[in-house]
Amino acid sequence: MKARAFAQSSISENQVNPGTSSMELIASQRCFGGQQNRYRHRSKVLDCDMTFGVFLPPQAEPGARLPVVYWLSGLTCTDENFTQKAGAQRVAAALGLVIVAPDTSPRGENIPADPDNAWDFGLGAGFYVNATQTPWAAHYQMHDYIVKELPALVESEFPVSQRRAISGHSMGGHGALVCAFRNPGLYESVSAFAPITNPAKVPWGIKALTGYLGDDAATWREWDACELISRATERLPILIDQGLADSFLDTQLKPERIAEAARQADYPLTLRLQPDYDHSYYFIASFIEDHLHHHARVLLRD
């Protein structure tokens, strides 16, 4: 009931903290005894309005300090795919985890889109990098949004601690790994479903990194999990699930590459190859409980 009280006080104010964040509650739905909320706010980093989902479990009473799992979705997704299809709220409610699900790119009238309306670049396909190229650099700063602006907002507005984990799917699995490797100390745990492990060497990644970062492939290394893991100073618990009936397995995802990079770096990595599972949310729903328990083992440890 307290989670509801929290959400409803937000509804009645409409702007949770109008003086600072102008975060606006745009939907609030009871789910597994907690509250699945959706917010809109002005992102300074992306220079546009953004929406994101927050699941507040029943334990999210005012004054609580709950850990947060950030979820990064894949190509073509918005902030809603995960909240509607993964079934994560059941587990998060049992464990007392807050889940924050941002959008996958900047959005809005002034945001440049791929001129060919591609689904693997531009809108819905920010790749969680900080773009350096025109016209993308003005808005496509998804990495800084995810690792700086969004956690700062979440930690100022919700009853959460500074204990964080990050997970994601496909492009978002790439994003989760890269956010963790680039920001030691920010997350305590990381996981991914069918991540693009080696974007600098696969078609989706080459297209996106060329577009956002330019032709110099040396700059791409800073956004490639296989490269970053070889230099990582931190050792986070990493769980990766990959379906073996995933139609993108051989061309875009290549889990064997991060397994080999982790082996060479002596970085412990749990990579589970799941027979018969594909790239869809049926796959994510089947294993999200394992991933949230993976994060909770660390996040809920004293």
Catalog residues that contact a copy of itself under the rule CB under 8 A. 4, 29-33, 36, 84-85, 87, 89-90, 243, 245, 274, 276-278, 280-283, 285-286
Strands (E), the chain: 24-31, 34-43, 48-56, 66-72, 98-102, 160-168, 189-193, 238-243, 270-274
Q: What is the DSSP letter of 130?
A: B
Residue closer to a copy of itself by CB (options 33, 112) is 33
9 is catalytic: no
Nearest distance in Å: CB 17, a copy of itself: 23
Q: What is the DSSP string of 71-129?
A: EE--TT--SHHHHHHS-HHHHHHHHT-EEEEE-SS--STTS---TT--SSSBTTB-TT-
Catalytic residue among 143, 279, 291, 294: 279
Residue closer to a copy of itself by CB (options 109, 276) is 276
| Residue type present at position 37 | N
Residue closer to a copy of itself by CB (options 248, 277) is 277
Tally of CB atoms within 10 A around 263: 11
Nearest distance in Å: CB 7, a copy of itself: 9
Residue closer to a copy of itself by CB (options 215, 276) is 276
Q: Supply angle C-alpha 289, 295, 297, rounded to 5.
A: 100
Both tokens assigned to 247:
């139609």
Nearest distance in Å: CB 173, a copy of itself: 18
279 is catalytic: yes
Nearest distance in Å: CB 286, a copy of itself: 5
Distance of CA 46 to the CA centre of its chain: 16
Computed on alpha carbons and rounded to an integer, the radius of gyration of the chain in Å comes to 18
Spatial separation of the C-alpha atoms in residues 226 and 33, rounded to whole Å: 40
Catalytic residue among 10, 43, 167, 170: 170
Nearest distance in Å: CB 80, a copy of itself: 11
170 is catalytic: yes
Q: What is the DSSP string of 51-87?
A: EEEEEE-TT--TT--EEEEEEE--TT--SHHHHHHS-
What phi and psi values does residue 163 have, to the nearest 5 degrees?
-90, 120
Nearest distance in Å: CB 165, a copy of itself: 22
Are 190 and 166 in contact by the 8 Å Cβ rule? The answer is yes
Residue closer to a copy of itself by CB (options 11, 152) is 11
Residue closer to a copy of itself by CB (options 85, 148) is 85
Catalytic residue among 246, 291, 294, 295: 246
Q: Which residues are catalytic?
A: 170, 246, 279
